[in-house]
Structure 1
């Protein structure tokens, strides 16, 4: 019997209606007691199916109300998998249906009685089969849901495996190609630093060698992070912080100075965003404004933290270097993740300015 209130009320009403009609037809007031017991048994049928079924059998024997027994037999069949319980209840129900029709007659094996046995056995079998069908349907629905969840889990695992394979392949390509080229740059810079007698050339070669070494070091960290992406052990601790700004500016091979104070208490993602912004700005100055000087200004107020990198116009011829602007796109994405904005653009005097603005409420800055 369904747990929905309307269905429960309808079933009880049907059992009561059958009992009332049976009492009217039999004209025997004593039959009200087993009928009342059978109807009350339906109330506890969900919690105690087998005892409730047994309580409906007296009403079947006297005065002949069979609806409560059929309903109880259906619930027993839908709740239990043990065929001994189901078959036993079915036989009891069939016997109870047949017994009143014999009227204790000696000719129990006459044709009418045998037909009654067949009919009432089928009557008992119908709720059993219906209950088993609905039970199998529920179990099949649960199995299909489990299969769906398992397939979804396998799909996620396959996607993660593909991504891990692609990350590993990309990491190998980055290591094999980029590190090889940067290593050659470092070796040639070292050779130039040793062989040249020009102090300016020696200093430039030393800066070039140091930049190559730093690039290789960061490349190694990035390759490790790329290979570890998607695993619980992924850590960003090798990433630089604002304490490395002085080293970054000193090794930039350009005339750069830092203006303003770096606020305390910044979260690591914010520190990395500021560091990468300054690093990308200095890289662009070296590439696109040879001989220019740069000013890095960090300021903050009650609402925003602002990092501004401004460079003068180039003093040497600009080389045509490849650029896809991926660096600026990455900086814009970093800023957006922190709720900030990145502005870039040329200046009237031929210079260039990059400005990162982050809201104080989003960067976790310690307040005094």
Structure 2
């Protein structure tokens, strides 16, 4: 079984499920009850001396004076506020029952504009809400999704796009997500992934990476301090001995459960492999695959979570593509034409085969 069977095949957007049937039933029930009340009062369905007397009292003492003051006395100018309220109510109902999302679409369009044109407004509003104990849930989700989209675009194959603006966009979104949200493991791992990607095009990316590294150190110093080595634009890369020690530590990963540390080791091991071309670093990924298949349940769970948080498929494939692995002897190839001496160590879909349909 190849290692590619252990990895996620791509980015899956997470959306909150809503019970649209229940919402439609609730809306229909409310409108039906209101219709019965109005129709009952107009046609005297209810006994004025019975329990429904309260409805007639409210109609005479509340509804009629309000209608007279705000509608009859102001007509036709009252059409202005009536039209506005009708439109707002219609938009709210359409949004509530899920027919369309005009309100949410407008919110997202405004947030997208602010994210890239005026991020300071979002940060200022976030700080203001922080005093009241509230959070910008929609903005946090949007920025997280945009960041994952940019990260996925840069790690979908082994030849990251040469467009420097995409990497600058990723750095901006990664930093902004840390500034307006409570740092979660996925956010911290995204920092490690983003900084690691600078090694693929240092001429255009290293400046962005260094600026982001300096800024995030001030944003979440307590959370990032234990992983300082992994959040540097120019980190100290591990040697063979350290990488082998990391590989041995995978057996006890279930006990520590430190997925951020694991993600950092994945990135640094890959960068060391790319820098040296030494195939011995692949022992880390071989042991990783072995533990994922045959390890203890708690270890498998921790490794799977680390894979999900980082761009594991990309890093594993990048390391395997960069390693100098000796080719089979010519005599072996001649004797066993078409037979490969070892399985492919690269991840098919990380090379792009998964997306083109060439993967088997």
TM class by shorter chain equals under 0.3
What TM-score do you get using the length of structure 2 for normalisation?
0.22
Q: In terms of Rg, which structure is larger?
A: 1
What TM-score do you get using the length of structure 1 for normalisation?
0.22
